Amino acid sequence: MRNFNLTPDLAPLYRSAIGFDRLAQLAEHAAANNANSGYPPYNIELLGENRYRITMAVAGFAMSELDIMSEGEKLLVKGNKTAKTDERKYLHQGIAERGFERTFQLADYVRVVGAELEHGLLNIDLVREIPEAMKPRKIDIVSTNTLG
Protein backbone atom coordinates (compact mmCIF):
# COMPACT_ATOMS: atom_id res chain seq x y z
CA MET A 1 0.00 0.00 0.00
CA ARG A 2 1.28 3.46 -0.87
CA ASN A 3 1.10 6.51 1.34
CA PHE A 4 0.41 9.75 -0.44
CA ASN A 5 1.55 13.06 0.95
CA LEU A 6 -1.43 15.41 0.65
CA THR A 7 0.49 18.36 2.08
CA PRO A 8 1.16 20.80 -0.76
CA ASP A 9 4.75 21.61 -1.64
CA LEU A 10 5.07 25.38 -1.42
CA ALA A 11 8.73 25.58 -2.45
CA PRO A 12 7.88 27.20 -5.83
CA LEU A 13 6.10 29.97 -3.95
CA TYR A 14 9.25 30.69 -1.94
CA ARG A 15 11.24 31.16 -5.17
CA SER A 16 8.84 33.61 -6.78
CA ALA A 17 7.65 35.63 -3.78
CA ILE A 18 9.91 38.29 -2.36
CA GLY A 19 9.06 39.33 1.17
CA PHE A 20 6.14 36.91 1.45
CA ASP A 21 8.09 34.05 3.02
CA ARG A 22 6.09 34.38 6.24
CA LEU A 23 2.79 34.08 4.37
CA ALA A 24 3.99 30.92 2.66
CA GLN A 25 5.18 29.50 5.98
CA LEU A 26 1.78 30.16 7.54
CA ALA A 27 0.01 28.40 4.67
CA GLU A 28 2.40 25.48 4.92
CA HIS A 29 1.87 25.29 8.70
CA ALA A 30 -1.92 25.31 8.26
CA ALA A 31 -1.78 22.52 5.68
CA ALA A 32 0.46 20.39 7.89
CA ASN A 33 -1.70 20.95 10.99
CA ASN A 34 -4.79 19.15 9.68
CA ALA A 35 -4.67 16.48 12.40
CA ASN A 36 -5.65 19.11 14.98
CA SER A 37 -8.50 20.59 12.95
CA GLY A 38 -11.54 18.65 14.16
CA TYR A 39 -12.00 19.26 17.86
CA PRO A 40 -13.23 21.52 19.21
CA PRO A 41 -14.99 23.17 16.28
CA TYR A 42 -14.39 26.89 15.87
CA ASN A 43 -15.29 29.92 13.77
CA ILE A 44 -13.17 32.94 12.91
CA GLU A 45 -15.17 36.11 12.26
CA LEU A 46 -14.27 39.50 10.88
CA LEU A 47 -16.08 42.01 13.11
CA GLY A 48 -14.62 45.19 11.66
CA GLU A 49 -11.69 46.45 9.65
CA ASN A 50 -9.16 45.42 12.30
CA ARG A 51 -11.30 43.36 14.72
CA TYR A 52 -11.68 39.59 14.79
CA ARG A 53 -13.34 36.94 16.95
CA ILE A 54 -12.56 33.27 17.40
CA THR A 55 -15.56 31.31 18.69
CA MET A 56 -14.94 27.79 19.95
CA ALA A 57 -17.62 25.26 20.91
CA VAL A 58 -16.54 24.08 24.38
CA ALA A 59 -19.77 22.61 25.72
CA GLY A 60 -19.29 20.90 29.07
CA PHE A 61 -16.18 22.89 30.04
CA ALA A 62 -16.21 25.23 33.03
CA MET A 63 -14.19 28.45 33.01
CA SER A 64 -11.75 26.88 35.47
CA GLU A 65 -11.03 24.09 32.95
CA LEU A 66 -10.05 26.48 30.12
CA ASP A 67 -6.73 28.29 29.65
CA ILE A 68 -5.84 30.90 27.02
CA MET A 69 -2.20 31.90 26.50
CA SER A 70 -0.92 34.47 24.05
CA GLU A 71 2.83 34.46 23.45
CA GLY A 72 4.37 36.34 20.56
CA GLU A 73 2.53 35.35 17.42
CA LYS A 74 0.85 32.25 18.88
CA LEU A 75 -2.45 31.89 20.66
CA LEU A 76 -2.87 28.66 22.62
CA VAL A 77 -6.27 27.53 23.92
CA LYS A 78 -6.36 24.49 26.24
CA GLY A 79 -9.22 22.62 27.81
CA ASN A 80 -8.56 20.13 30.61
CA LYS A 81 -11.54 18.21 31.97
CA THR A 82 -11.42 17.43 35.65
CA ALA A 83 -11.93 13.84 36.69
CA LYS A 84 -15.55 12.81 37.15
CA THR A 85 -16.63 11.71 40.58
CA ASP A 86 -20.04 10.31 39.62
CA GLU A 87 -20.57 7.13 37.66
CA ARG A 88 -23.05 7.83 34.90
CA LYS A 89 -24.29 5.21 32.50
CA TYR A 90 -24.76 6.80 29.09
CA LEU A 91 -26.94 5.29 26.38
CA HIS A 92 -25.40 7.78 23.94
CA GLN A 93 -22.61 10.25 24.66
CA GLY A 94 -22.26 12.81 21.90
CA ILE A 95 -20.79 15.63 23.96
CA ALA A 96 -17.04 15.18 23.91
CA GLU A 97 -15.49 15.49 27.32
CA ARG A 98 -11.87 15.09 26.35
CA GLY A 99 -9.18 17.66 26.80
CA PHE A 100 -7.88 19.64 23.87
CA GLU A 101 -5.11 21.96 22.84
CA ARG A 102 -5.51 24.27 19.86
CA THR A 103 -2.88 26.68 18.56
CA PHE A 104 -3.65 29.66 16.34
CA GLN A 105 -0.93 31.54 14.47
CA LEU A 106 -1.56 35.26 14.84
CA ALA A 107 -0.59 37.75 12.16
CA ASP A 108 1.75 40.64 12.91
CA TYR A 109 0.34 43.27 15.28
CA VAL A 110 -2.68 41.13 16.28
CA ARG A 111 -3.31 40.85 20.00
CA VAL A 112 -5.97 39.32 22.23
CA VAL A 113 -8.17 41.94 23.91
CA GLY A 114 -10.63 39.72 25.77
CA ALA A 115 -12.38 36.39 26.17
CA GLU A 116 -15.76 35.27 27.48
CA LEU A 117 -17.56 31.97 27.98
CA GLU A 118 -21.27 32.11 27.18
CA HIS A 119 -23.72 29.24 26.54
CA GLY A 120 -20.91 26.74 25.87
CA LEU A 121 -19.14 29.04 23.40
CA LEU A 122 -15.74 30.55 24.14
CA ASN A 123 -15.37 33.92 22.38
CA ILE A 124 -11.85 35.31 22.00
CA ASP A 125 -11.67 38.87 20.71
CA LEU A 126 -8.64 40.05 18.74
CA VAL A 127 -7.58 43.40 17.35
CA ARG A 128 -4.91 44.35 14.83
CA GLU A 129 -3.10 47.53 15.84
CA ILE A 130 -0.67 48.62 13.15
CA PRO A 131 1.97 51.09 14.39
CA GLU A 132 1.99 54.49 12.68
CA ALA A 133 5.40 53.78 11.17
CA MET A 134 3.99 50.70 9.41
CA LYS A 135 0.84 52.32 8.00
CA PRO A 136 0.77 53.24 4.31
CA ARG A 137 1.83 56.78 3.54
CA LYS A 138 2.02 58.83 0.39
CA ILE A 139 5.50 59.56 -0.93
CA ASP A 140 5.93 62.91 -2.67
CA ILE A 141 7.76 62.86 -5.97
CA VAL A 142 10.24 65.65 -6.45
CA SER A 143 11.42 66.76 -9.88
CA THR A 144 15.18 67.23 -10.24
CA ASN A 145 14.86 68.43 -13.80
CA THR A 146 15.51 72.17 -13.79
CA LEU A 147 15.84 74.21 -16.93
CA GLY A 148 17.84 77.16 -16.46
Most confident stretch, 114-118, 128-132, 140-144 = 114-118
Q: Does pLDDT of 83 surpass 80?
A: no
85 in Cβ contact with 43 (< 8 Å):
no
**Closest Cα partner for 115 from 72, 78, 60?**
78
59 in Cβ contact with 95 (< 8 Å):
yes
- pLDDT at residue number 19: 47
**Closest Cα partner for 42 from 144, 113, 124, 129?**
124
Note the pLDDT tens digit of each residue in 40-60. Answer: 999 999 999 889 999 999 998
Kindly report whether the global pTM for this prediction surpasses the value 0.95: no
* Cβ neighbours of residue 120 closer than 8 Å, sequence gap 6 or more: 57, 58, 59, 60, 61
* Cβ neighbours of residue 39 closer than 8 Å, sequence gap 6 or more: 96, 98, 100
| pLDDT more than 90, % of the chain | 38
Residue range 95-124: average pLDDT? 91
CATH number attached to the domain at 40-83+95-133: 2.60.40.790
- pLDDT at residue number 28: 59
Q: Which of 5-9, 101-105, 120-124 has the lowest mean pLDDT?
A: 5-9
Cis geometry, peptide bond prior to residue 40 (ω within 30 degrees of 0): yes
Count CA atoms within 13 Å of residue 126 on its CB side: 24
Residues of the chain with CATH 2.60.40.790: 40-83+95-133
* Residues in a beta bridge with 32: none
* Cα distance from N-terminal residue to C-terminal residue, the chain: 81
